[in-house]
């Protein structure tokens, strides 16, 4: 990730079985449950983009797309 995007992107894993994580991210967890998404859920800039599995290539493509959108804006 760092080799590809430098400081422009980072990955953070949040274990929602931990109470401190649930407390800190209760709004997103509520949204995930409200939308009936299946864990694990990949969230990019506050938007759930994938659920039910982790796909590293898909995450990289989504990040590339988001960074390209930023450059056009």
The string of pLDDT tens digits covering residues 11-56 is 899 999 999 999 999 999 999 999 999 999 999 989 999 999 989 9
Domain limits for position 57: 2-72
Taking Cα atoms as reference points, which of 35, 50, 41 lies closest to residue 21?
41
pLDDT for 14 equals 94
What is the structure's pLDDT at 11? Answer: 86
Domain count for the chain, please give it. Answer: 1
**Residue 27, SS3 per DSSP:** helix
Which is it for the CA torsion 23, 28, 33, 37, positive or negative? negative
| 1 or 36, greater pLDDT | 36
Could you give the CA distance from residue 23 to residue 52 in angstroms, rounded to a whole number? 22
pTM for the complete prediction? 0.81
As a whole number, mean pLDDT of residues 53-73 equals 91
Own/partner contacts of 60-66, CB < 8 Å, gap of 24 or more, are 60/1, 60/4, 63/5, 63/9
């Amino acid at each position: 990730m760092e080799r590809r995007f430098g400081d422009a992107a980072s990955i953070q894993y949040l274990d929602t079985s931990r109470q401190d994580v649930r407390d800190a991210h209760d709004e997103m967890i509520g949204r995930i449950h409200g939308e009936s998404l299946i864990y694990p859920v990949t969230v990019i800039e506050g938007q759930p983009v994938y659920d039910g599995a982790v796909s590293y290539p898909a995450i990289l493509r989504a990040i590339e797309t988001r960074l390209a959108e930023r450059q056009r804006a």
